[in-house]
Amino acid sequence: MSNKQLKKTMEDLNIKIFDLIKYIDPSETGKYMKFLVKEFRKKHNKEGYTNYTPVLNDQNYLDKIRKKCKNELEDRVVEYIMDVLSDTNVTNLQVFDELIRTNKIKETDIQKYDSFEDIEKVIVEYEENNHEDNIHEYEEIYRDDRWYIVKPLSYYTAKIYGTATKWCTSSRDTPKQFYEYSKDGILLYIMDRATNNKWAVHWAIFEGGKEEMSWWDAKDRRVDSIQVDIPFGIMNEIKNYLHKEESPNIKYFSENSLINLKKLLKLEKKSTEIRQYENLLQDTIGEGLDLAPEDVFPTWVTTPTEFKVDELINKTLEYNYTLEVINKGGIPQ
């Protein structure tokens, strides 16, 4: 079935903005429509799409999709669609397509896959067998016939145990959040193998003291611990471990995991500097800016008062310090 034929069978998705504006017209005759359409056209960005494009990242799958939008209206609709499908599923579909185009997987017919979960399983299987940076490291906290609790100590492990969740620490789009949570506290994954339900818990550690504890369901929604459907005995195992453990996950990273973190920090430092210059130039010169590589570090800039120069400097120093500690064989605290 062609896309044109498919579109004809999906009348419920062929939504027209004009028809939606009709809902706002309080009259029964549509006498306000001309006025409403005129005002709507004035207030939304019909052309140019200048509000977000300059700061979107070409290396991010979701940003690549949003860059295709012609105006802010399209962007908001596409953002809603991605939210319904979930960012994780949309990203996995981009990865899946790359694997197909590069002949990395056997079954290339999308009609043979029943769900996004099937697509994710194929990606995980490929990663298990082929990724050069695969480091399957973790600490097993508890295991019985039904429950399994682990402390992920590598990004690869976080992705494997985070399959079929929307956790940012298991995202295939970027490992940044996994390393940040690992550096900032204790991260555990709890899996109910009877129901396939999963939860994540993180207890932040700051200057040697434990601070905020947060629980997350498989949809990456923050929940109160009393809402987590875990038996009392299993919850006690989790809490006892969390109270006894004094160090963040990153303290237990292997040398290879730290090497992967080092690679990320180098890329992140470059990316952060570029994005901050993009924001600065956008504020200074105006919107609609699309930077070429040679424009990333200009020889002059006029710093607006709201631009946080100290924050930029501190962030850069933080990256440099972390890299220096790793190079010396230490562990970032």
Q: In whole numbers, what is the pLDDT of the chain averaged over residues?
A: 75
pLDDT at 312: 45
Residue 247 clears pLDDT 90, i.e. is over it: yes
pLDDT at 324: 56
Distance from first CA to last CA of the chain, Å, rounded?
A: 56
pLDDT at 110: 86
DSSP sequence for 189-248 = EEEETTTTEEEEEEEEEETTEEEEEEEEETT--EE-GGGS---HHHHHHHHHHHHH--S-
pLDDT at 231: 92
pLDDT at 279: 56
pLDDT at 321: 52
Confidence of residue 243 (pLDDT cuts 50, 70, 90): very high
Confidence of residue 98 (pLDDT cuts 50, 70, 90): confident
Most confident among 37-51, 116-130, 187-201, 247-261 (mean pLDDT): 187-201
DSSP sequence for 232-300 = HHHHHHHHHHHHH--S-GGGG--HHHHHHHHHHHHHHHHHHHHHHHHHHHHHHH-SS----GGGSS-S-
The model's pTM is: 0.55
Residue 119 clears pLDDT 70, i.e. is over it: yes
Contact 310/332 with Cβ under 8 angstroms? no
pLDDT at 323: 54
Residue 48 clears pLDDT 70, i.e. is over it: no
Query: Which SS3 state, helix, strand or coil, does residue 16 take?
Result: coil
Residue 282 clears pLDDT 80, i.e. is over it: no
pLDDT at 274: 55
Residue 132 clears pLDDT 70, i.e. is over it: no
pLDDT at 75: 79
Q: Any idea where the domains of the chain sit in the sequence?
A: 20-85, 93-130, 138-252, 255-327
Question: How confident is the model over 147-172, as a mean pLDDT?
Answer: 88
